Amino acid sequence: MRITEARVVVTCPGRNFVTLKIVTEDGVTGVGDATLNGRELAVAAYLDDHVVPLLAGRDASRIEDTWQYLYRGAYWRRGPVTMTAIAAVDTALWDIKGKVAGLPVYQLLGGRSREGVTVYGHANAEDVDGVLDEVAHYSGLGYRAVRVQTGVPGLASTYGVGGDRMFYEPADAAVPTENVWSTSRYLQHVPTVFRRVREEFGPRLRLLHDAHHRLTPIEAARLGSSLEPYDLTWIEDPVPAELQSGYRLIRQHTTTPVAVGEVFNSVWDCKQLIEEQLVDYIRATVVHAGGITHLRRIFDHAALHDVRSGSHGATDLSPVCMAAALQLDISIPNFGLQEYMRHTPETDAVFPHTYRYEGGYLHPSQEPGLGVDIDEERAAAFPYRPAQLPVNRLEDGTVHHW
């Protein structure tokens, strides 16, 4: 079953998405997400210029061989652009394999390990009263887990607190907007938020928080210990992901669980964290970590060390990525949680899909393959619009992590 064509589609139904569509000689098609927020065109060019020309004539059934060919063969390994491009090819080939077999992809991965995929939503608001309303909203929708972010008193704007509650979108301008950051204000404020949330919602709702790489290890340790009374499921990305040994220090000071990995691209980025059990959840995702083939390798490695999955599922990961992530989530033994920031109706219309949400769970498609497609005609109505993620500065103007 030879590949005859591969097309890269860039579309902006509210936000930018890059999608690869592969077509075989029998007319079977497969889709893969290739979206890298704020750097979309770099992946589109990598695919168009360096990958698509290699695909025509290849056997679509050889997923592993194609992965190794694109990874080892290029000599230049890893990195977000390369691994996103490889992920798109890999995901599309799994989609094709499922369609040819007449099975949803999770059946090819070993079948179900659970009945549904537990998801968490994003409650965010400027202040504590606002965020309590948002948590109530998600709880009313049946969510069992909610990520809680608020503005910080004294700071004009903070990452993670968006204008639109359900469809929060951080990449909001062609030239990055700028936020101002103060770690001391933040560390004083966050425990007061979680105290109120626990008082209002009791002990059962699972609560999460994203620190977005903005702390040093000892600051993160302090945050973790100050949040222990509120029993968080995790603190996410407490320190910059490059600083792997920093996680050792956090571990020595707090029992609040830690999640990391949304910017990871390969097993090599998280090997030490997993093997030393420095984290509890790995949040790498299909689109940025080399596709279903490589993400399963990461999760298998994590399973050996009692580390669970917690996959990234923000709005900049398209429904194609979500459809693929759910196939893994339902099948792996060490599933933890899946992030679920809903897409807008415009995005859903461009990417028709049959995964569905019900009572706190997402359910993968039962259709052969991934159960998602791109409507190329609709996509063409939404041309690319430059948009970048914001930049964060300290109060004195120094550029800081975000």
Give the binding site for Mg ion (CB under 5 A). Answer: 210, 262
314 binds ligand KDG (CB under 6 A): yes
Pairing of strands 281-282, 117-125: unpaired
- Which is nearer to Mg ion, 210 or 280 (by Cβ)? 210
Crossing angle of helices 183-201 and 128-140, in 10° steps, is: 50
Residues 6+ apart with CB under 8 A from 206: 120, 144, 145, 146, 233, 337
The one segment of 48-56, 70-78, 113-121, 309-317 that binds ligand KDG by CB under 6 A: 309-317
Per the annotation, the verdict on 301 as an active-site residue is no
List 312, 342, 343, 353, residue binding ligand KDG (CB under 6 A): 312
Minimum separation from the CB atom of position 290 to ligand KDG (A)? 17
54 Ramachandran zone, left/alpha/beta (phi>0; psi -120 to 50): alpha
- Distance between CA atoms of residues 311 and 326, nearest Å: 10
Binding flag, residue 219, ligand KDG (CB under 6 A): no
Burial class (CB in 10 A: 0-12, 13-18, 19+), 178: middle
Sequence-distant (6+) residues with CB within 8 A of 42 are: 36, 81
Interface residue with ligand KDG, options 33, 95, 329, 339 (CB under 6 A): 339
For ligand KDG (CB under 6 A), the number of binding residues is 10
Q: Please pick, from the candidates 37, 266, 285, 338, the single residue that binds ligand KDG as defined by CB under 6 A.
A: 37
Nearest residue (CB) to ligand KDG, 66 versus 256: 256
Question: Is 212 annotated as catalytic?
Answer: yes
* Footprint (CB under 6 A) of ligand KDG, residues 90-149: none
Q: Are 370 and 318 in contact (CB under 8 A)?
A: no
From candidates 33, 90, 134, 210, binder to ligand KDG by CB under 6 A: 210
* Residue placing its CB nearer to ligand KDG in the complex, 106 or 402: 402
What is the H or E stretch that residue 322 is in?
helix 319-331
Catalytic choice (122, 189, 212, 213): 212
CB of 402 to ligand KDG, least distance (A): 8
The answer to the question of residue 347 lying near ligand KDG (CB under 6 A) is no
Q: How far apart are CA 97 and CA 104, in angstroms?
A: 9
The least distance separating ligand KDG from the CB of residue 389, rounded to whole angstroms, comes to 6
3-state secondary structure of 385: coil
CB of 97 to ligand KDG, least distance (A): 28
CA 158 vs. chain centroid, Å, equals 20
Q: Which helix (H) or strand (E) holds 302?
A: helix 291-303
Residues that are catalytic: 159, 212
Site residues for ligand KDG per CB under 6 A: 37, 170, 210, 212, 262, 312, 314, 316, 339, 389
